[in-house]
Amino acid sequence: MPKRVLAFVAASLIASSATYAQAPNPLDVVPDKMPFDVPYGAPITLERAQSVITAAIAEARKHDWKEDVAVVDSGGNLVAFARMDGTQLASASIAEHKARVAVTFRRETKAFESGVQGGLVYQLSLDGVIASRGGVPLVEDGKMIGAVGVSGGTGSQDEVCAKAGSAIVK
């Protein structure tokens, strides 16, 4: 290799490591209040869970999307599930997983997707995490009563349907 190329590569490596060292670590920020501090409430009933599923599926049908929808209670237990005809096989377990993650971590699964995309890859080392949108907590009167998870389309399609379902509770 010519000396100029080696000098350029060395300078680039030094510059990139200096830039990396100067970047602030977002994990060093200490919030004043506990984020995602929603208390758990009484578990969602079967009737309410079925209403959430009905709303999510109605949204999917408006767009001709094929989705699986799962609703878990405030303890992460499956309460209700629906599978639209033609949905890919993997979506059943993914929908339930998204719902369980949303209730367990008390936040939308999109938060993990955004975190990983923003460089917080440590989140993938947390047990049970799924970094894909489509899992939305169900909060009533300020308490977490469960969560809905949707899978079958793109993450953004899943999220639209999950939010349509969660709107029944809010």
In this prediction, residue 61 carries a pLDDT of: 98
**Confidence check: pLDDT of 20 > 90:** no
Sheet holding 68-73, edge to edge: 78-83, 68-73, 143-151, 135-140
Question: Is the per-residue pLDDT at 137 higher than 60?
Answer: yes
CA distance 140 to 145: 7
Query: In CATH, what class is 46-166?
Result: alpha beta
The model's pLDDT over 25-39, given as tens digits with 9 standing for 90+, comes to 777 888 888 888 899
Q: What is the mean pLDDT of residues 129-143?
A: 97
Q: Are 148 and 138 in contact (CB under 8 A)?
A: yes
Question: Model-level pTM?
Answer: 0.82
Give the separation between CA 128 and CA 81, rounded to whole angstroms: 20
Per residue in 56-103, pLDDT tens?
999 999 999 999 999 999 999 999 999 999 999 999 999 999 999 999
Instruction: Please state which of the ranges 17-21, 108-112, 161-165 shows the lowest mean pLDDT.
Output: 17-21
In the chain, what are the domain boundaries? Answer: 46-166
User: Given this model, what pLDDT does residue 123 score?
Assistant: 86
